[in-house]
Amino acid sequence: MSSSAGSFPPEQGLRNNYMNSPVAKIKERLSIEEVVSSYIKLDRAGVNLKAKCPFHNEKTPSFFVSPDRGSYYCFGCGAGGDIFSFVEEFEGLDFKGALKLLADKAGIPLEHFNPKEESDKEKLYRVMEEAAKYFENNLLHNKEAQNYLKTRGLNEKSIKDFRIGFANLDWRLLYNYLVKKGFTDKEIEAAGLTKASDKGFYDRFRGRVMFPIMDSGGRVIAFSGRIFIDDGKSAKYLNSPETPVFNKSAVLYGLDKAKESIRKNNFSILVEGQMDLILSHQAGYKNTIATSGTALSDTTISKESVVSNLGLVRRLTPNIVLAFDGDVAGANASNRAGRIALSLGMDVKVVAMQEGVDPADLISQNGSGASAPAWREAIKNSKHIIEFLLNKTLENSSNDTRKIGKEIKEKVLPFVDMLGSAIEKAHFIKKISDQSNIPESALKDDLQKIEQELKYEKREIEEAEESLSGMYRKDYILRKLSGIILWQRTLKEQALDVENTIKKLADILKISPELVLENSKGSEGDLIFEAEVFYGGDADLKKDVEEMLSNLEEEYLKEELARKMRELYLAEEAGDPQKSNQILKECQLLNNQIQDIKNGRLKK
Ligand SMILES: [Zn+2]
């Protein structure tokens, strides 16, 4: 997006030319039905359409789309909104990212709708884009690095499509280049491209093959650099730090190029490395995504991050094939991701990989062209994770039934426990019994014990999922409200009592009014732009703001209730009836408040 023309001076607002706003134009051309059904399958339900909610794990559909109102709502998790909020949440994009994507889809040019000032975030995107171009250009002049990529099996098209580049082994080449392009030290450092020292700034990436990481809209948000000449001291892979545009728990490598194919083929293939991913795409498996540069395969990373990343894929399809490296670390990462994926209601298959072999090796076998027969066979022969683990356990153990029983209890049954449906559990118990000759009743007894042991872990995953969607919704509403406040302040005639709105917001957040806009610092331009194009022609702004406030309050009360329920659980475990009673009363009070908000909504 170019940032030159600014067509809505804030002081005029949008009231008069609302119909010219990009939001209105896009909504005119794209129906909610069209947009949502390009992501998930919708079924008729009277005048509405319904589906299983893409934003939470459920078995019966409670996600409804209303073509008349141009909106959607989920009765299970409370997700709701229009085509813009849908694309934002589904794709993990910010408003401008969603605007760009939908404008492209609707065939509407965006040039005229940009605000005059480039925001901090837009600068970050631009500096990352410049760096990517710089690295790409370096690679064009580096025969050695090109040869390396070719010996690894990459063809020229893949190198170009994935925008692979090279960072020369020097201290300040990129830094100097970006300064010449007009970026400040602060901007370059904020993008994670340089580090500060006593002697000034120096480049973070040196002597590395550079893989840009894109968000699902295709914007460069980070880099992963692979060491070119191993000096034995430097890390093999170096990733960008977290920045305002790079959140490690909300990005998978290659998702921007894989999402269409994942949707079409109704399954995804998850690999560990960039090389694995690019070669898999090159071999025709464009539904491949990778964990590299993200948190999924790192065992020190929180469950929340894994849940968040797998949640991104689950929205596209619940079917996932894990193809991790054939070593101990790979197996551990695969098991961890597999367990969490199962508990998120996904169908998980595993590709059997020989010790010391990774997908890149397998694909390069017999050439890495579009056929890649070894890779094709491996994916075709992938097995459900429980079957896979069962086979492995039976292969590795002797004929000692007691020993086999113990191994199955430790290595296989915990995965059965993660399954959501009782029918599926019964199916696998039978299968395990058939193959191991252990009676079903004995397996069921063991499974019950495991259910007790893993109760806490399962609850943790559920809570992570809930708190993530709650956090997302809270942030989303807060951002919208902050934008409206900032925007209204720029107008002479305000459609809203701004100070009162701030006060209400402060009450909900339990902070002082002065701190309400604290988190908006640095992104005011973006927020005003978003509010203006979104609510510029809104005759019911006051009502909409009231609704947002009550939704936000509900999210906070729900969060408080979840916290209290945890305390209640602990007090009960500790056998403290007095404390339990007290907490129970508090829970009931919170519950009443939540019900009041819900009832109020129904009356409208
Ligand atoms: Zn939902």
DSSP for 320-354, please give it: EEEE--SSHHHHHHHHHHHHHHHHTT-EEEE----
More confident residue, 16 or 392: 392
Bridge partner residues of 415 (DSSP): none
Tokens standing for 11? 């002081």
Share of the chain above pLDDT 70, in %: 92
| Cα-only R_g, the chain | 26
Residues in the chain: 604
Task: Tell me the mean pLDDT in the region 432-459.
Answer: 91
The pLDDT value recorded for residue 420 is 84
State in Å: Cα 79 to ligand 1 middle: 6
More confident residue, 370 or 103: 103
The pLDDT value recorded for residue 11 is 36
Predicted confidence (pLDDT) at residue 4 exceeds the cutoff of 60: no
State in Å: Cα 23 to ligand 1 middle: 25
Predicted confidence (pLDDT) at residue 13 exceeds the cutoff of 60: no
End-to-end CA gap in the chain: 40
Q: What angle do CA 184, 189, 193 make, to 5 degrees?
A: 115
The pLDDT value recorded for residue 8 is 35
Task: Tell me the mean pLDDT in the region 196-212.
Answer: 95
State in Å: Cα 53 to ligand 1 middle: 5
State in Å: Cα 373 to ligand 1 middle: 40
Lowest-confidence region among 203-212, 279-288, 530-539? 530-539
The pLDDT value recorded for residue 528 is 87
State in Å: Cα 283 to ligand 1 middle: 36
Predicted confidence (pLDDT) at residue 157 exceeds the cutoff of 50: yes
The total of other beta-carbon atoms located within 10 Å of residue 501's CB is 20
| Residues 271, 288: Cα–Cα separation, whole Å | 7
Cα distances from 360 to residues 301, 329, 353, in angstroms, run 25, 17, 11
User: pLDDT for 74-99, tens place per residue?
Assistant: 877 778 889 999 998 888 788 888 98
With a CB cutoff of 8 Å and minimum separation 6, the contacts of 227 are 207, 208, 234, 235, 236, 237, 238
The pLDDT value recorded for residue 197 is 92
State in Å: Cα 588 to ligand 1 middle: 24
State in Å: Cα 302 to ligand 1 middle: 23
Predicted confidence (pLDDT) at residue 293 exceeds the cutoff of 80: no
pLDDT class of 349 with cuts at 50, 70, 90:
very high
State in Å: Cα 502 to ligand 1 middle: 29
Task: Tell me the mean pLDDT in the region 461-476.
Answer: 79
Task: Tell me the mean pLDDT in the region 161-178.
Answer: 96
State in Å: Cα 153 to ligand 1 middle: 43
Task: Tell me the mean pLDDT in the region 552-579.
Answer: 88
The pLDDT value recorded for residue 268 is 96
Phi, then psi, of 80 in degrees rounded to 5? -165, 160
State in Å: Cα 80 to ligand 1 middle: 9
Bridge partner residues of 65 (DSSP): 49, 72
State in Å: Cα 76 to ligand 1 middle: 5
pLDDT class of 475 with cuts at 50, 70, 90:
confident
State in Å: Cα 471 to ligand 1 middle: 14
CA 522 to the chain's CA centroid = 24
- Among 9-18, 32-41, 134-143, 224-233, the range with the most confident prediction by mean pLDDT is 134-143
| Residues 308, 472: Cα–Cα separation, whole Å | 11
The pLDDT value recorded for residue 216 is 83
More confident residue, 19 or 458: 458
State in Å: Cα 576 to ligand 1 middle: 36
Task: Tell me the mean pLDDT in the region 430-440.
Answer: 95
Predicted confidence (pLDDT) at residue 355 exceeds the cutoff of 60: yes
State in Å: Cα 54 to ligand 1 middle: 7
Predicted confidence (pLDDT) at residue 9 exceeds the cutoff of 50: no
The pLDDT value recorded for residue 112 is 53
| Residues 513, 335: Cα–Cα separation, whole Å | 47
DSSP single-letter state for residue 111: G
State in Å: Cα 58 to ligand 1 middle: 8
| Residues 539, 446: Cα–Cα separation, whole Å | 62
| Residues 252, 545: Cα–Cα separation, whole Å | 34
* Residue 247 near residue 309, CB atoms below 8 Å: no
State in Å: Cα 511 to ligand 1 middle: 29
Q: Mean pLDDT score of the chain, rounded to an integer?
A: 86
State in Å: Cα 470 to ligand 1 middle: 11
Tokens standing for 127? 């500096």
The total of other beta-carbon atoms located within 10 Å of residue 437's CB is 10
Bridge partner residues of 73 (DSSP): 64, 80
Task: Tell me the mean pLDDT in the region 105-111.
Answer: 82
| Residues 63, 50: Cα–Cα separation, whole Å | 6
The pLDDT value recorded for residue 10 is 37
More confident residue, 296 or 394: 394
State in Å: Cα 599 to ligand 1 middle: 20
State in Å: Cα 71 to ligand 1 middle: 14
The pLDDT value recorded for residue 300 is 55
Task: Tell me the mean pLDDT in the region 294-303.
Answer: 57
Predicted confidence (pLDDT) at residue 16 exceeds the cutoff of 60: no
State in Å: Cα 55 to ligand 1 middle: 5
State in Å: Cα 6 to ligand 1 middle: 37
The total of other beta-carbon atoms located within 10 Å of residue 383's CB is 16
Containing H/E element for 448? helix 440-489
State in Å: Cα 154 to ligand 1 middle: 41
Bridge partner residues of 246 (DSSP): 243
Task: Order across the sheet with 220-227: list the strands.
Answer: 165-167, 208-214, 220-227, 237-239
State in Å: Cα 254 to ligand 1 middle: 26
State in Å: Cα 64 to ligand 1 middle: 10
Task: Tell me the mean pLDDT in the region 440-451.
Answer: 94
Task: Tell me the mean pLDDT in the region 18-27.
Answer: 75
pTM higher than 0.95? no
Predicted confidence (pLDDT) at residue 443 exceeds the cutoff of 90: yes
pLDDT class of 12 with cuts at 50, 70, 90:
very low
Predicted confidence (pLDDT) at residue 468 exceeds the cutoff of 80: no
The pLDDT value recorded for residue 17 is 45
The pLDDT value recorded for residue 76 is 77
Instruction: Determine whether 251 is exposed, middle or buried from the number of CB atoms within 10 Å of its CB (0-12, 13-18, 19+).
Output: buried
The pLDDT value recorded for residue 565 is 86
State in Å: Cα 77 to ligand 1 middle: 4
State in Å: Cα 61 to ligand 1 middle: 9
What is the bridge-based pairing of β-strands 347-350 and 319-323?
parallel
Predicted confidence (pLDDT) at residue 385 exceeds the cutoff of 80: yes
Task: Order across the sheet with 80-81: list the strands.
Answer: 43-45, 48-51, 63-66, 71-74, 80-81
pLDDT class of 15 with cuts at 50, 70, 90:
very low
State in Å: Cα 538 to ligand 1 middle: 27
State in Å: Cα 466 to ligand 1 middle: 10
The pLDDT value recorded for residue 159 is 97
Smallest CA-to-CA distance from 118 within 212, 30, 183, 29 is with 183
Smallest CA-to-CA distance from 45 within 66, 30, 59 is with 66
| Residues 120, 187: Cα–Cα separation, whole Å | 8
Task: Tell me the mean pLDDT in the region 139-155.
Answer: 95
- The SS3 call for residue 3 is coil
The total of other beta-carbon atoms located within 10 Å of residue 173's CB is 15
